[in-house]
């Protein structure tokens, strides 16, 4: 089932627990045509010369294709690097006609609901290469490891610990797959609950190792999250995640 919205697409709307998401490494690294490689190098040179943007290169996992078999989500991925993703998807996704020349780096984000029914959102810092100054739910990119699978649930748990100093997780489930249409970036859309209150998490933020990821963190009452997104600049994929969360919540209430 595909749902579209403002600059995002939900490719798959189906719930999966951690063990129901299976990743398959296709064991190849994407190579780019000379023209595209030259574009990548030029864009990377330009962005790294901007000392106000914190950016670094590294291997990333990229989506080749996916399928659902017997209620399990199978993800097939290949290796690329963040430089190639920046040069193709972020800077040139609309101008590159051959979509096999896009890196399609996999990412994950989650709606986090506290025990006092508030949603955690953060304003992305001005030094970031993507989504600068936009409001977003916590998320991260799937790095590539040649010797092991980097599962999106593991990535999300690490990001929550680094950005929010949050380790007390009660539940985590994947609600589907989405895509930021501006960057052609595929993303796992998760829902996470914690037994901590917003006040308790706010206190823990002071010890977060990567607190500078966001310039501001807010805790929005769940029943006000739609209004907050309407009145503030929210990332496309964050909007997709919240929409799946609201759909799930409304379904549960109507049962």
Pairing of strands 135-136, 8-16: unpaired
What span, in angstroms and rounded, lies between the C-alpha atoms of 242 and 213? 20
Under 8 Å between Cβ of 77 and 62: yes
Q: Label residue 211 by pLDDT band (50, 70, 90).
A: low
Please tell me the distance from the alpha carbon of residue 168 to that of residue 180, in angstroms, as a whole number: 29
| Cα–Cα distance measured from residue 144 to residue 226, given in angstroms and rounded to the nearest whole number | 34
DSSP 116-151: TSEEEEEEEPTT-SSSTT-EE-SEEE-B--TTS---
pLDDT at residue 131 above 80? no
Spell out the residues 6+ positions from residue 154 whose beta carbon is closer than 8 angstroms to its own: none
pLDDT at 217: 93
Dihedral sign, Cα of residue 37, residue 40, residue 44, residue 46: positive
The pLDDT of residue 255 is 45
Strands 171-180 and 185-193: antiparallel
pLDDT (tens digit per residue) in 7-23: 899 999 999 999 999 99
CATH number of the domain enclosing 174: 3.90.79.10
Q: Tell me what percent of the residues of the chain surpass a pLDDT of 70.
A: 95
- Domain of residue 218 covers 3-253
pLDDT at 137: 96
Is it the case that residue 155 has pLDDT exceeding 90? yes
Give the number of domains in the chain.
1
Tell me what pLDDT residue 127 has.
80
Residue 5: per-residue pLDDT: 46
Confidence check: pLDDT of 69 > 70: yes
141 or 54: whose pLDDT is higher? 141
Distance CA(29)–CA(77), nearest Å, equals 10
3-class secondary-structure state, position 250 = helix
């Amino acid at each position: 089932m595909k749902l579209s919205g403002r600059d995002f697409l939900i490719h798959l709307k189906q719930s999966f627990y951690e063990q129901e998401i299976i990743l398959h490494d296709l064991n190849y690294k994407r190579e780019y045509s000379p023209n595209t490689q030259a574009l990548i190098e030029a864009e990377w040179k330009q962005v790294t010369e901007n000392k106000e943007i914190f950016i670094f290169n590294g291997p990333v996992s990229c989506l080749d294709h996916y399928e659902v078999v017997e209620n399990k989500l199978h993800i097939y991925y290949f290796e690329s690097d963040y430089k190639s993703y920046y040069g193709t998807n972020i800077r040139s996704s609309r101008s590159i006609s051959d979509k096999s020349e896009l890196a399609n780096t996999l990412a994950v984000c989650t709606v986090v609901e506290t025990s006092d029914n508030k949603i955690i959102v953060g304003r992305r810092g001005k030094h970031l290469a993507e989504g600068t100054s936009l409001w977003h739910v916590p998320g991260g990119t799937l790095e590539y490891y040649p010797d092991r699978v980097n599962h999106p649930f593991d990535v999300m748990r690490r990001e929550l610990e680094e950005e929010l100093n949050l380790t007390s997780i009660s539940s985590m489930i994947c609600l589907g797959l989405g895509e930021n249409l501006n960057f052609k970036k595929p993303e796992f859309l998760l829902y996470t609950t914690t037994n901590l209150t917003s006040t308790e998490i706010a206190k823990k933020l002071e010890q977060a190792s990567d607190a500078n990821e966001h310039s501001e963190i807010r805790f929005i009452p769940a029943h006000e999250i739609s209004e907050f997104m309407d009145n503030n600049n929210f990332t496309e994929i964050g909007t997709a995640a919240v929409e799946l969360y609201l759909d799930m919540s409304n379904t549960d209430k109507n049962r």
